[in-house]
Amino acid sequence: MRSDREISRPSRRAVLAGAGLFSLGFHIPGLAPARAATPEAAAAVPEINAWVVVKPDETVVIRIARSEMGQGTLTGLAQLVAEELDCDWARVTTEYPSPGQNLARKRIWGDYSTGGSRGIRESHEYVRKGGAAARTTLVAAAAKGWGVPAGECRTERGVITHGPSGRKTTYGAVAAEAATIEPPKEVVLKDPKDWTLAGKPLKRLDTLPKLDGSQVYGIDLTLPGLLNAAIRDCPVTGGSVKSFDAAAVSGMPGVKRVLQLGDSAVVVVADTFWRAKTALDALPVVWDEGPNGKVSSETIAATLREGLDAGEAFVGNKSGDVAGALKGAAKVVEAVYGVPFQNHATMEPMNATALWTAERCEVWAPTQNGEAALAATAEASGLPATACEVHKIHLGGGFGRRGATHDWLRQAVQIAKEMPGTPVKLIWTREEDMIHGRYHPVTQCRLRAALDQDGNLTGLHMRISGQSILASVAPQRMVEGRDPVTFQGLNPGGPEAAIGYTIPNILIDHAMRNPHILPGFWRGVNLNPNAIYLECFMDELAHAAGQDPLAFRLKLMGNHPKHRAVLQAVADKIGWDSKPPEGVHRGLCQTMGFGSYVAGAAEVSVSEAGELKIHRIVAATDPGHAVNPQQIDAQVAGSFVYGLSAALYGACTVKDGRIEQTNFDSYPVMRMDAMPVVETILMPSGGFWGGVGEPTIAVAAPAVLNAVFAATGKRVRHLPLKDADLRRA
Amino acid sequence: MARLNVNGVVREVDAEADTPLLWVLREQVGLTGTKYGCGIAQCGACTVHIDGAAVRACSMPLSAVGPGQKIVTIEGLAPGADHPVQKAWAELDVPQCGFCQPGMIMASAALLAQNPRPSEEQIRAEITNICRCGTYNRVLAGIKLAAERGQSG
């Protein structure tokens, strides 16, 4: 049916779709050739190098290893390659080299992981070199044909010109020859100030198929003979299936199989998903809830409270003598903050499609990390990775849920393994997605600060108590039992996530307390709570010292010029020194994470009845180099939706060992009616590469919470805000 | 067998009467542009038009749709995807992941059909679809742009 539609609309997209199995988003990736060693575009036309294929019709295919999930990395990475390639941007298209191909070619495309806002900042150099090397070989091919020195040739928008003679040729005309030329060992990259494509606010490459329903997401995939599966895992993590009555539903319409998966899940496979789900809903299951059936949000909170005072904790940042500073303080200020679990709630629920035989396993998946997906496929299928392949499908949102654990993908493979030779698509219902997340970790934080007689901050102890993501997701990345990610934004220095204040006596430590609810990397990760804790408390300290919150911070930021610059920028733009409109109140904050410096300022009002309205947000970002300003603007605005959804409404609570929220009715998120104006200040200072997909989320909540305090005098220390009473006392 | 008029084509579909229109469109008709996001009419990713009105197809059983009713999905909104809303979306690069956008576009098109020059307040009240990437401000700008174009064109 879809192919009919494509044929009836012979657009540029449809032409591309016909050109290659791996072109992005314009077709259903079919059953790929079992031993494909190179992407499809390269099968027809030899590649210039791993990153670039130029077709005779001048189409430039740029290979993208990272996953596009809305954040714009596809377009940004293509801009970087195209910049060095000097090709015609209007002719650029993209494709994903598959993880299996990467394995076969000794990781020629490097890391596939798309998280931690790393897509561009960690691959910019090698993808630009790929573009530059391709340009060099294309020029060499033209020069060889003309019998002239390559140094006499120049390139512009896919055209090669021999200066002295004025002869011209095109990339497409010399591509086949270029493919035979040994690529240069060293290339010189352009100075960013000479960029003409990178750094520009170009339109995304992937917009059009998202406007007419033709973009294929994992959940949309169809294959010949495909069956659909619905799953219900034990609602209490750690529990198991005691019994289930397959006979009760096996005669229902469309049902093909009813089976138990592992210890803890039941599955119905049917001809359609709706029939699978309908039968699953009717399937009688008795659970053994296991050891966690009595756990609740209250018991978890009590465990975390104990950690706030525990004698032992992992140290993340320490200098001077905090105990001494507190003892000698003119004034000690103390507060305890806390954040709940959050679900990623991607718009597209978890899903994956798998086809298993005794010899080979193929998976089609919306994954943030193709390589990890391939490893998970191999593990779940019982086959070597070389006998597996993963086809990356466009993601309907990722936010960290689709990269680290691939629990949903493993399930799909395990189901397919029960039905050799039949492709099976597993779709989670929203309810399954809500109660089997990998949640933003739950933590609390006690902050104690010493102020001297002049209101100067002389000591700060931050004790974080709660869950470690790495302990669950990537224990191999722990450092002597410590989870370094816990201290995001609080590190004493470094290029990734350093604190922006110099405090003479400081101790930041973590009492790890891991409840059974599984954590994951949730967009913004630990920077989110850490910025709330530190930046709201800084506001408290300023008020305790009787000082302006901006001035109080700036005094501590002399050694942190980039942190200071973004904070000053939002203060200037929101008019910090001027009186806000009647009834409107302001708050501000700053942090650093994912290699970028960010600050936020908010204008809010709170009615007598306690209703909060966010009128205006100003956000500043210094990512070092900015590859696509209009996409950064979109990421910054979107970050406030994600961050404020959590801060205002979001909480996954636990009762009887299970997550209580099952859909958007009980887990509300921000909608357009609550969306404030967001004014973005992009201030790339050069010299480094920071991420933009995540850091701004961390300033959303503290900017608003500090403004809420200015409006009400009420300090909201436990989120979400909807649980707080903001009525005038 | 039920008979449905989808995007101007009458089709026979083989599904139980209580099957939501969403899944009939996706799994029987093969039009996957209409998305599953929540199944309880909360998120709007499944928005289609029935006789011109925006309807959340996940909560509309097949039995409630008559053979004479005209269903329009994102695939059939406009030939060549040139509806003013789609054109405005392209101009402003509205989508991020894009999963909610078919529903967002269908809801916006229905709003403009009913109210060609909505105020910002009306747009904010009427468009209740969920977008987790956070495209709301561009959606808002897109609807305003489409409204202006609709007026002049």
Q: Which of residues 60-79 of B touch A (CB under 8 A)?
A: 73-75, 77
Q: Is pLDDT at B138 greater than 50 in this prediction?
A: yes
Q: Is the pLDDT of residue A3 over 60?
A: no
Do A543 and A684 fall into the same domain? yes
* Separation of alpha carbons A601 and B117, rounded Å: 32
Contact residues on chain B for A278, CB-CB shorter than 8 A: 16
Which structure tokens are listed for A177?
A: 């020859």
Q: Domain check: are A368 and A320 in the same one? A: no
What backbone phi and psi angles, to 5 degrees, belong to A7? -65, -35
Q: Are residues A268 and A357 in the same domain?
A: yes
Q: Do B138 and A677 touch (CB under 8 A)?
A: no
For residue B1, what pLDDT is reported?
82
Q: Do B86 and A664 touch (CB under 8 A)?
A: no
- A24, part of any domain: yes
Query: Mean pLDDT for chain B?
Result: 96
Instruction: Please list, residue by residue across A131-160, b when 16 or more beta carbons sit within 10 angstroms of its beta carbon and e when fewer do.
Output: bbbbbbbbbbbbbeebebebeebebebbbb
- Whether residue A601 contacts residue A570, with contact meaning beta carbons closer than 8 Å, is answered with yes
Q: Pick from B59, B76, B93: which residue ends a domain?
A: B76
Q: Hey, what are A291's tokens?
A: 């050891």
Give the whole-angstrom CA distance, residue A588 versus residue B53.
43
**C-alpha span between A157 and A507 (Å, rounded):** 55
Q: Are strands A159-162 and A505-512 parallel, antiparallel or unpaired?
A: unpaired
The pLDDT of residue A605 is above 70: yes
Q: Is it the case that residue A11 has pLDDT exceeding 80?
A: no
Q: Nearest 5 degrees, angle CA A245-CA A249-CA A255?
A: 130
Query: Could you say which of A152, A179, A210 is where a domain stops?
Result: A210
Give residues with Cβ within 8 angstroms of B76, minimum separation 6: B6, B7, B8
| Neighboring chain A residues of B128 at a CB cutoff of 8 Å | 671-673
- Are B59 and B83 in the same domain? no
Of A5-19, A27-41, A270-284, A580-594, which range is least confident? A5-19
Tokens of B109: 């098109």
Q: Range of B64's domain?
A: 2-76
B95/A contact by beta carbon, under 8 A: yes
- Where is pLDDT greater, at A39 or A141? A141
Average pLDDT over residues A211-237: 98
Q: What are A452-469's pLDDT values in tens digits?
A: 999 999 999 999 999 999
Supply the CATH number for residue A230's domain: 3.30.365.10
Q: Does residue B105 sit in the same domain as residue B131?
A: yes
Tell how strand A388-392 and strand A361-365 pair up.
parallel
Residues B137, B118, single domain; the answer is yes
- A148-159 tens-digit pLDDT: 999 999 999 999
User: The CATH number of the domain where B86 resides is what?
Assistant: 1.10.150.120
Q: Which residue carries 């209490």 as its tokens?
A: A236
Indicate whether A29 and A116 sit together in one domain: yes
Question: Which stretch of A7-11, A138-142, A319-323, A708-712 has the lowest confidence by average pLDDT?
Answer: A7-11
Same domain, B24 and B88: no
Q: How confident is the model at residue A44 (pLDDT cuts 50, 70, 90)?
A: confident
Length of chain B, in residues: 153
Residue A429's alpha-carbon distances to A571, B23, B39, in angstroms, are 44, 13, 8
What local confidence, expressed as pLDDT, does residue B63 receive?
97
Instruction: Name the residue facing A664 among B35, B42, B101 (closest C-beta).
Output: B42
| A102 and A233, same domain (yes or no) | no
Of the residues B54, B76, B98, which one is the last residue of a structural domain? B76
Structural domains of chain A, count: 3
Alpha-carbon torsion (A317, A319, A324, A328), positive or negative = negative
CB A464 within 8 A of CB A482: no
Segment A497-516, tens digit of pLDDT: 999 999 999 999 999 999 99
Long-range contacts of B61-64 (CB under 8 A, 24+ apart): B61/B17, B61/B18, B61/B19, B61/B20, B61/B21, B62/B2, B62/B4, B62/B13, B62/B15, B62/B16, B62/B17, B62/B18, B62/B19, B62/B20, B62/B21, B62/B24, B63/B2, B63/B17, B63/B18, B64/B21
In terms of domains, do A237 and A284 share one? yes
CB-based contact A348 B35, cutoff 8 Å? yes
Asked if B71 and B83 sit in the same domain, the reply is no
Domain identity same for A78 and A140: yes
What is the torsional sign of CA A10, A12, A14, A20?
positive
- Mark whether A151 and A256 lie in a shared domain: no
Residues B19 and B67 in one domain: yes
Instruction: Say which residues have a Cβ less than 8 Å from residue A603's Cβ, sequence separation at least 6.
Output: A574, A580, A581, A584, A585, A586, A614, A615, A616, A617, A707
In this structure, what CATH number is given to the domain that contains residue B35? 3.10.20.30
pLDDT classification of A371: cutoffs 50, 70, 90: very high
Residues A594, A504 share a domain: yes
Contact: B96, A634; criterion CB under 8 Å: yes
Residues A245 and A192 in one domain: no
Phi, psi of A631 (to 5 degrees): -75, -35
How is residue A347 written in tokens? 């718009």
pLDDT of residue A39: 56
ipTM of this complex prediction, to 2 decimal places = 0.98
Q: Is the pLDDT of residue A203 over 70?
A: yes
Q: Are residues A103 and A11 in the same domain?
A: yes
Q: Phi and psi at residue A59, in whole multiples of 5°?
A: -65, 130
Across residues A575-590, what is the average pLDDT?
Answer: 97
Residue A728: per-residue pLDDT: 78
pLDDT given at position A40: 57
| Count: domains in chain B | 2
Among A176, A210, A244, give the residue marking a domain's end: A210
* A257 shares its domain with A335: no
Is the domain of B83 the same as that of B69?
no
Q: Which of A403, A427, A451 is a domain's end point?
A: A427
Residues A59 and A53: their CA atoms lie apart, in Å, by 8
Instruction: Please give the pLDDT value at position A453.
Output: 97
What is the rounded distance in angstroms from the CA atom of residue A512 to the CA atom of residue A16?
Answer: 51
Beta bridge pairs of residue A586: A603
Both B39 and B65 in one domain: the answer is yes
Domain that holds residue A202: 2-210
